Amino acid sequence: MSQPQDPLTLEVVDLMATLVSVFHKEYEEAAAARSLTGAQAKVLALLRRGPLPMRQIAQTLSCEPSNITGIVDRLEARGLVARQADPEDRRVKRVAATEAGEAASAELRESLHFARAPLAALGPEERTQLRDLLRRMADSAGQR
């Protein structure tokens, strides 16, 4: 196990919890403003780098593949996404963002940069500090 429950760690954990909740809420709101749910927005965001098999989407979001079927169904019904056959394996369906989907996703991403108010409180040097600390945390989280 590891970290003792010193007051400093406790406070950082609580602060993170607060900010996590703020960021999470802002993300949901930004998605809702475009009539997307949070889950739909996440999938759409994943497709920015290119089409992906259903399986891989499920894996990335750590949920059941059957779950993705429904989310993609709804996105497809709105013309934001399309299922295409994979030429190399006829079992897999690759999900690709349509032009409308790309646009919605880009728009959402843009809006987040402005919506994320808490960052505005920090100056450039502080952001650099924060970035370095977050990088270390993210790296260690990724390696588990």
Partner DNA sequence: AGTCGTTCATTGATGCAGTCAAACAAAGAC
Partner DNA sequence: GTCTTTGTTTGACTGCATCAATGAACGACT
Smallest gap from residue 43 Cβ to a second copy (A)? 14
The one-letter amino acid at 1? M
Both structure tokens of 139: 């790296």
Interaction between residue 104 and DNA (CB under 7 A): no
Q: What is the DSSP letter of 81?
A: E
User: In Å, how far are 51, 55, 115 from 109, measured between CA atoms?
Assistant: 18, 24, 10
Selected from 45, 46, 82, 92, the binder of DNA by CB under 7 A is 92
Interaction between residue 129 and a second copy (CB under 8 A): yes
Selected from 35, 64, 90, 120, the binder of a second copy by CB under 8 A is 120
Selected from 30, 81, 93, 101, the binder of DNA by CB under 7 A is 93
Both structure tokens of 44: 């759409």
The β-bridge partners of 95 are 52, 83
- Binding stretches for DNA (CB under 7 A): 37-40, 53-56, 58, 61-74, 83, 86, 89-94
